[in-house]
Structure 1
């Protein structure tokens, strides 16, 4: 009985080996072009991934870090005997300029851009643009420099 099991196992193994060999011949010989094409595609894909990673890593090392520091400049203290500047409230009311518009005009006079003003006042840049346009209309100015000059002439700015 053990002998029959052994022979049956040996024949089964031999049949499996023959099937594997014929399958190998069929796959390798009959489909060699497809296998070659797949191997080339895999190699090119691996090369492309490697090259892409190498290029992006080199760009990351080239990037510079920009550090912006804000320097606060103290306001000039009025000289002895002088009073601090106060905007002409009567002119402000006559022109219809609001406190926020005057604040934005003051920041324009300091040379800040709309984006910087928006950041400082915690409003959107479009809000600053709207306030600027209304202030320019009320002062009869077409540009920022004209608005600042007109504000100084009317006593709204120091």
Structure 2
């Protein structure tokens, strides 16, 4: 039974492909200019995307090295530095607490101290300031 169904399905699929091919042939004869313009436009689009990707590709020169002098001058501890990295990754206080095996209140304290040390009032401001100082990538 499955063999019969598969044979009928194959015959119907071939028939559909044949009808589509005939319809394409009719369209191609009636509108050859539109087909050539479409193919040319698609080629130009692909070329533009490729050139854009080549021109605007970020230049990676090596591994990111954090500015340890700025970290020391601001008095940012290693634990606060870990919290800052997770803040930059977009983690919530609960996520940071889970990842670093800390209590949420301890994370809040670290975040508050980072705000003071980076002279920021919000997370985004703290992350932006840390990036400006090359503390995080």
TM bin, normalised by shorter chain, reads 0.5 to 0.7
The structure with the largest helix share of the pair is: 2
Match 2:75 to one of 77, 96, 112 = 96
Q: Report the secondary structure of 1:112's partner residue.
A: coil
C-alpha distance in 2, partners of 1:149/1:123?
25
C-alpha distance in 2, partners of 1:81/1:122?
33
Larger Rg: 1
C-alpha distance in 1, partners of 2:121/2:60?
37
Match 2:65 to one of 74, 86, 91 = 86
What TM-score, normalized to structure 1?
0.48
What TM-score, normalized to structure 2?
0.56
| CA-CA distance at 1:81 after TM superposition | 7.2
Matched, 1:156 2:135: yes
Q: When the two structures are aligned, how many residues end up with a matched partner? A: 80
Q: Which residue of 2 aligns with 1:18?
A: none
Instruction: Give 5+ residue unaligned stretches, structure 1.
Output: 1-78
Matched, 1:139 2:118: yes
Q: Report the secondary structure of 1:111's partner residue.
A: coil
The verdict on how the C-alpha distance between 1:81 and 1:154 changes in structure 2, with shifts beyond 3 A counting, is: closer
CA RMSD of aligned residues (A): 1.6
Instruction: Give 5+ residue unaligned stretches, structure 2.
Output: 1-57
Q: Which residue of 1 aligns with 2:22?
A: none
